[in-house]
A and B are shown apart, each in its own frame.
Chain A
Amino acid sequence: MSISDWLNKFGFATPAQLKEAGIMGMNERNISLINGLNDRLLFPLVDDKLLTKRAALEHKISVPELITSISTQRDVSPLLHQLEGEEDFVTKPAKGSGGRGILVIDRLDQEFVYLSNQTTLQRNEFAQYLSNVLGGLFSLGGQPDTVMVERKVKFDKVLSRFSYQGIPDLRVIVYRGFPVLAMARLATKRSKGKANLHQGAIGVGIDLLSGKALSGVGKNKTIDTHPDTGLKIADLEVPYWMDILSLATSCYEVTGLGYLGADIVIDAEKGPTLLELNARPGLAIQVANMIGLEHRTKIVEEIYKQNPDAGKTPVTERVQKMLEKLQQSVIAE
């Protein structure tokens, strides 16, 4: 028995096997992608969702409508009054990460706040939550934060029926201006309706060429059927797929980041809408797709080799070029 067989038996891969599969490790990601391609100066733009929203609007990218935002403690009670008339909105920390600190609210009255997952909060609990957000509970390094109040996205039925309690979103990784990997994130009962993989959501790799599901993964296990909705993962097909790819790709111009993750939802009325951007997207997307990230970045490098100014070509051209190259590699296999 060889060392690699022996390692595989105990649930370990050998470095050589991972290299062959084109897997990008954390260290490589941190050095080559984040340090190498993402200028730290550009981080605030993606780390602060309010700034991201503004920049996206300038580039005519669809984003959820901002109702209001507050950044000081004394604005908390005026905000509560202001929100009394509102329906279907979301409150979130502008500098939050990993979907933390987001509340989806149907409405609120003098006593209670009615959340979209059918639970209620007391009004003073909600006020405490707002003040915690401002105090930096959810922000990186606990810096003072801003509360954003956004119009709730009306999720498209095609995708949302796959998810337990709403918020199915799509994550597209854009490498040097070209889309390289995509996945859909489906909330489960275990993830408490959140679309975050390490909180128990399911990641579904999406074929860049077709927008169809490749394979599903939850907690490092392959999943064929959604445990809560009972739908077959393989039946999942993302609508407006080309629009979604273009939207994600155009975020390269918005941010200037060489390695970014665009989180996109499909609004029933507005179509593909950018939820947030991430300058340090995780590596679980490789497992969801069963495709190593390095296989894809290699393709982009080839494109740049042919045309050093490939990154400056129009968005649609870049998407077409990438899909063309992928088609070729599929045929080659």
Chain B
Amino acid sequence: MLSRNILLEVPFTPDEKAKIWEIQFSFKVSPDIAATGENPIKLTLQTPKDYEIPFEILDAQNTSPGYDFTALPEEADSDYNRVAWTSTDSWDRSNIYYRILMLPKKVKNYNYGIPSDQDKLDTENNLTDQANKLKLQALLDGFHLENLDEKQIILSLLQELTTLSADQKDSLLTDLNYTRLVNLWRDLINQAGIPAFPVSGFVLEDDSTYNGVSTKTAFVINGRLNFYNPETNLIAEDPTFFILGDDRDWITEVENGSLSSLKIAVKQTSLPLSAISAIKNTNNPLAQFSLYKLPTDYRISVNMLLLLPLGAMIVVFLRVFVGIRTTGTFMPVLLALSFLEIGLLKGIAIFLTITAIGIIIRSFLNKVNILLVARIAVVIALVILIIVILSLITNALDIFGFFAVAFLPMIIIAWTIERLSIVLDEDGFKEALVQLAGSLGSAVLIFAVCQINIIKYWTSYFPEMLFMEIGLLLLLGHYTGYRLLELARFSSFVAHHKVEAKK
């Protein structure tokens, strides 16, 4: 446990949490008619390199049935990585899902988004209309930009352009061979010696979805990436804009098909640091055995399983130290598990109702002359019937809310009825009541213990707890002292001895 805490940084308390970004891309691809086995449909997505961005990519999960997923080899001179999905089945229209989990880095990389390729920083290369360089310079000279800093230049250029009348704009665009004013603005900035280029990405905002990427103009000022914010009319850095690439057309590419939709969902979640360290330490062999590596749904049942020995330990404690009698040794553990699944109050209500009905049925069955094993089986069948009828009634009348039929809890309850009715037959009503109360009480206690956050957390993140439990059980098993209830049972001895002493 200690090594897991130290080496893998799994904390001992569950409340140390970190905010991580969850980004899910979902693509829909339509294949061309030409897409065949020899010309498979292929989608590639460009993603930033881990060291480039101010985030640490914890995990990238791919769920895309029917597609082969590959990470394309890294190119040293590129700022980006590419992943690809290919499918030879031209009819496959299933969605491609790609999920990235990333954690904000403690030490920010301020070069984020700035191309490492010096050519791209050369303003000359960013000009789309090289032929018009002179015309652009003439235009620039017409504006009074002397004694202005870079941000002011960009803003005043924007102002000059936007204050032009519609006719002036049209003539300017035609004259300089531009289609959009924003491109002219960008080239003017480049001509003024400030690197400016388009970048594509999306805004990291919790619970937002985007239909595709958006493109912004980025400026390099003092070695940092800056953007124009139309709302504040300011030039500033924007850490919320997540850049996927500098060329929109390169972010996603489809061969032998076309991208019919791209959705980007952004969600911020709080994960315990422990979970993060489990995802992170993929190279540490100890982490390979972390339960976090298991599929999510299976992990839920494993966590349940890990609580079982703890419940059994509580039963042992109650029997050995207190002396509580229960229906079947470990029945309370199973009952507690079913309460965990259906909720405590609802669980107890359902349990008592079904048990009462079950025992009444069982007493009627006693009058029928059939073999014992057959009778037990009949009770189980009838209990299941009651459960089904009850769920139909509650559903129709909407009393309890819907009486959800969970598989395991129902089996457990059905079995308890059988045990209880045997006790009822053999030891009478009072003993059955004592055992029922004992079982229910122990189950509630186990339930309560399993509800404690730190206990749940410890059992699921430190499976080594099992060894501690075994050790503790071995100790409990050696206890030869009196049980709490025996102190009351044999208390008459004390009175007896006091009387004797007086004599």
Contact = CB atoms under 8 A, between A and B. Distances in A.
A27 B369 contact: no
A21 interface: yes
B364 interface: no
Interface string A130-142: 0110011110001
Contacts of A21: 490, 493-494, 497
A26 B492 CA distance: 17
Contacts of B478: 31
Interface string A262-302: 00000000000000000000000011001010000000000
A16 to B, nearest CB: 10
A234 B481 CA distance: 33
A17 B491 CA distance: 9
B463 interface: no
Interface string A5-23: 0011001111101101101
A132 B425 CA distance: 12
Interface residues of B, number: 30
B483 A26 contact: yes
A8 B491 contact: yes
B497 to A, nearest CB: 6
A124 B369 contact: yes
Nearest to A15: B482
A198 B495 CA distance: 22
Contact of B323 (A26, A124, A137, A292): A26
Nearest to A222: B492
B193 interface: no
Interface residues of A, number: 41
B494 A73 contact: no
Given A12-B487, A290-B493, A131 B371 contact: yes
B489 interface: yes
A229 interface: no
B487 A290 contact: no
Interface string B282-319: 00000000000000000000000000000000000000
A18 B480 contact: no
A287 B373 contact: no
A127 B369 contact: yes
Nearest to A97: B426
Contacts of B74: none
A128 interface: yes
Given A27-B480, A27-B483, A13 B369 contact: no
Interface string A75-92: 000000000000000000
A7 B487 CA distance: 9
Q: B interface, by DSSP: helix, strand, loop or mixed?
A: helix
B372 A137 contact: yes
B491 A13 contact: yes
Contact of A13 (B371, B479, B494): B494
B487 A27 contact: no
B320 interface: yes
Nearest to B372: A135
A286 B427 CA distance: 22
B493 A13 contact: yes
Contacts of B486: 18, 23, 25-26
A27 B491 CA distance: 17
A159 B481 CA distance: 37
Interface string B447-483: 0000000000000000000000000000000111111
A60 to B, nearest CB: 34
Nearest to A136: B372
B482 A27 contact: yes
Contact of A15 (B323, B422, B427, B481): B481
B496 to A, nearest CB: 5
Contacts of A225: none
A23 B480 contact: no
A31 B490 CA distance: 19
Contacts of B320: 27
Nearest to B500: A290
Nearest to B426: A100
A27 B479 contact: yes
A132 B372 contact: yes
A220 B491 CA distance: 9
B488 interface: yes
Nearest to A100: B426
A137 B483 CA distance: 30
B493 A18 contact: yes
A135 B493 contact: no
Contact of A199 (B428, B487, B492, B494): B428
Contacts of A131: 369, 371-372
B488 A11 contact: yes
A32 interface: yes
7 closest Cβ contacts across the A-B interface? Answer: A135-B372, A128-B369, A25-B482, A28-B480, A13-B491, A21-B493, A12-B487
10 contacts: A8-B495, A13-B488, A15-B481, A17-B497, A18-B482, A25-B483, A26-B486, A27-B320, A135-B372, A292-B493
Given A11-B491, A21-B497, A28-B481, 20 more contacts: A11-B488, A12-B491, A13-B491, A13-B494, A14-B487, A15-B481, A18-B490, A23-B493, A25-B481, A32-B480, A73-B371, A124-B369, A137-B372, A137-B422, A138-B426, A142-B372, A220-B489, A221-B492, A286-B490, A287-B493
Interface of B: 320, 323, 369, 371-373, 422, 425-428, 431, 478-483, 486-497
